[in-house]
A and B are shown apart, each in its own frame.
Chain A
Amino acid sequence: MSPALTRERDVREAYAAHSGELYGFAVRSLGDAGLAEEAVQETFLRAWRAGDRYDSQIGSLRTWLFAILRNVVIDLGRARDSRPRVGPEQGIEPSVEPLEQALLSWQVEEAMRRIGEDHRKVLLETHFRARPYAEVAEELGVPEGTIKSRVYYGLKALRVALEEMGYED
């Protein structure tokens, strides 16, 4: 029989392994720490209630939890939107992109955070800030060829990190 999320201990382990990520995505998409907390709580409760339907043969626990969170975020977003706004400048604005894209963006950002510091730094400077390789090489005190190889290994590491998070292209 495939493991299901039916024991309280399973939920505790799942929380230890995935709550950080789930919360991170909830904050990003809801733009509100309180709502994000609510979303994570609701996600684990729904997971617990439906625990006997989870089948590890079909997909990872992480993917399943994210699928639940996605629905919770939609529900909470709706509830929030139907509430009257107190004022125009209330805290962080939630991300306005569609949820699927928000999830993908968040995954790429999270994968970037997971790769090694050296690789992240080089990708941030050369790609996101569009700085010449030579300039970044000088700043870091390494040969330009090293920057090039860090870009290469950085992308490879990023791919592995994304795959670990269940991304498939």
Chain B
Amino acid sequence: MRTDEHRDWRLSLGAYALGDLPPDERAAVAAHLEGCPECRAELRELEGVAALLPLADPARIEAPTARPPADLGARIEAQIAAESSREGRAKRRRRFRLWAGGAAAAAAVAAVLLIVLLPGGGESSPAQEVKFASLPKGVSIDATLEPHAFGTEIQMYVKGVKSGTLCRVFLRDDDGRTYSAGSFRYRWGGDSEAELSSALDLSQAAEIGVHAGDRTFTAPVGQATALVSGAEIEPT
């Protein structure tokens, strides 16, 4: 039967493509190929694969597959979560600037303060977003406080303060003790980021404050108006 015969020829095409057939058989397959466009098309595909085989190393094919360490995925996720919470803050800043509007934005100055508090327990409480209320017109201050194993990280956004103003940041604990968190000078003309350190665990912080020139602004910590978790992401 023609079909069976055709099938037999077809099954030889792999060996043909690899050059494994003895001369008489090879000649017979070649003769069939002359009159069979279907087999010729099939052969072209098989030859494409056969040509790649020499690239492979049989020892590597049979070697046990290397698997990544079991905890690699978790490590990557943790790093991405950390980056995403930083990015979330950056996006909030950008949004805020956008909201401030064109003309206002031109004059708006962003001073960003990053305060790292030294270890004091490393509580796993979620990060908090603190909004300063009762500020003079045109001034806005908000901060994100994030606990770390080594302490707390604070990022602060200040707007509308006179350029050149020295800002000293502090935290207060429940007993009213003040912990300096360093200082920065507020400048016109875009964002500036500063990293500073202090010594209070976020779980013990009751208040955050800024001495800006001769003014002092404070906001309660621990009754966060918005919770910021590491997993927060922007809607797509």
Assembled-state Cα–Cα distance A28/B56 (Å): 12
Partner of A44, one of B52, B80, B81: B80
In whole angstroms, how far apart are the Cα atoms of A33 and B72 in the complex?
Answer: 12
Q: Chain A residues with Cβ under 8 A from B66's Cβ?
A: 23-24, 27, 33, 36
Judge if B84 is at the interface, Cβ distance under 8 Å.
Answer: yes
**Contact indicator A7/B233 (Cβ below 8 Å):** yes
Q: Mark B157-193, 1 if CB is under 8 A from A, else 0.
A: 0000000000000000000000000000000000000
**How long is the Cα–Cα vector from A28 to B83 in the complex, in angstroms?**
29
- Name the interface size band of chain A: 35 or more
What is the 8 Å Cβ interface bit string for chain B, positions 70-105, against chain A (1 contact, 0 not)? Answer: 001101110111011000000000000000000000
Q: Nearest CB to that of A16 among chain B residues?
A: B73
* Cβ–Cβ contact B56 & A105, under 8 A: yes
User: How many A-B residue pairs lie within 8 Å, measured between CB atoms?
Assistant: 132
Contact A6 B15 (CB under 8 A): no
Inter-chain contacts of B55 with A (CB < 8 A) = 101, 104-105, 108
CA distance A145 to B69 in the complex (A): 44
Taking a contact as CB atoms under 8 Å apart, the answer to whether A45 and B68 are in contact is no
Q: Does B138 contact A (CB under 8 A)?
A: no
10 A–B contacts from the bound complex (CB under 8 Å): A12-B73, A23-B67, A23-B68, A23-B72, A33-B66, A41-B76, A108-B52, A108-B55, A108-B56, A162-B49
Contacts of B52 in A (CB 8 A): 104, 108, 162
Q: A37-B68, A41-B75 are in contact. Are A8 and B57 (CB under 8 A)?
A: no
